[in-house]
Each structure stands twice: as C-alpha cells, then as structure tokens.
Structure 1
Amino acid sequence: MVLSIFVEKSHCIVNTKDIGKIIKERRMSLKVNQFELAELAGVGINTLVAIERGQGNPKLSTLLAIVDTLGLQLDLIMKEE
C-alpha cells in the first residue's frame, strides 16, 4: 500500500484523517497495539494516537518512521502549477 503526500510549492497538502485511518487499519490488521507500534517506530504514544485520529500536523520524519515500521510506503508527489 502506498500513502501519497502531495507537495505544492513550499508546503505539503496532507489529509491527516485519511493517513491516520490507513495507519490505524494497517496496525490493526497486523494485530499490533498502539503502545507496541509507538515503541517500534520510536515515536510517542500521544503522537501516534493523534495521527490515527487525524489530528495535529505530524512531522514527515514521524510519518516515515511509522509507515516504515508498518511495512508501508510513503511517496511525495510534486504537483504541477
């Protein structure tokens, strides 16, 4: 599964609710709880919970750590002007 982040000019356009939903579904399909995933990915539990709820504005490095741990791929796609 590939998660896409669209980059326009100097900022990212990310629908955090969709990304959070995909992360949560993948985590649950792997039968991993939030505490385990947070520890394996090296992120805080509160950060992971917020991402799964579609809240906040996570750092790209945080998203990369989580999706890598889940065996997902994160692509950055440059939008044409």
Structure 2
Amino acid sequence: MKTKELGSLIRHRRKELNIDQKSLAELAGVSVHTLSDIESGKANPSLDIVDRVLHVLGLQLKVELRRSP
C-alpha cells in the first residue's frame, strides 16, 4: 500500500468515527503534525506509528512477505 492510500484510509476511518486529528494524535501518542503528514501522504511513518494509529481506529496492520519471482 502506498503512503497516499494509507493516509486516505486513515483519514476516512477517522472521519467515520467522528474523531478530530488532535484527539486521534493524542490517543495514538503521535504529534498532530505527524498525523497530518500521514493523512496527506507526505510522511513515511514507521510500522510502530502506523500500528498505534490503526489500533485507535479499530483497524489492524497486516504485513505479508512474499518471495520475488
């Protein structure tokens, strides 16, 4: 998943739950600036940060590793 797609998914879910950026950032333990950058696709966040944000939103991170052909 590309960073823009991830950001769009996070923004959409946050709005579905009627949570503002400040509240989500506080609950996930990230700065509002970081969350804003993630949602806009400008950031390349660590898996830990993505996992914390998704957890607050009731979503899970699934990482799949595959061998190259």
Measured against the shorter chain, the TM-score band is: over 0.9
Q: Of Structure 1 and Structure 2, which has the larger fraction of its residues in helix? A: 2
Q: Displaced runs of 4+ in structure 1, greater than 3 A?
A: none
What is the TM-score when the length of structure 1 is the normalising length? Answer: 0.81
Fraction of identical pairs, as percent: 41
* Residue ranges of structure 2 left out of the alignment (5+ in a row): none
RMSD value, Cα: 0.8
Matching of residue 18 in structure 1 with residue 5 in structure 2: yes
Matches of residues 8-47 of structure 1 in structure 2 within 5 Å?
14-47=1-34
* Residue ranges of structure 1 left out of the alignment (5+ in a row): 1-13
What is the TM-score when the length of structure 2 is the normalising length? Answer: 0.94
Q: Of Structure 1 and Structure 2, which has the larger fraction of its residues in strand? A: 1
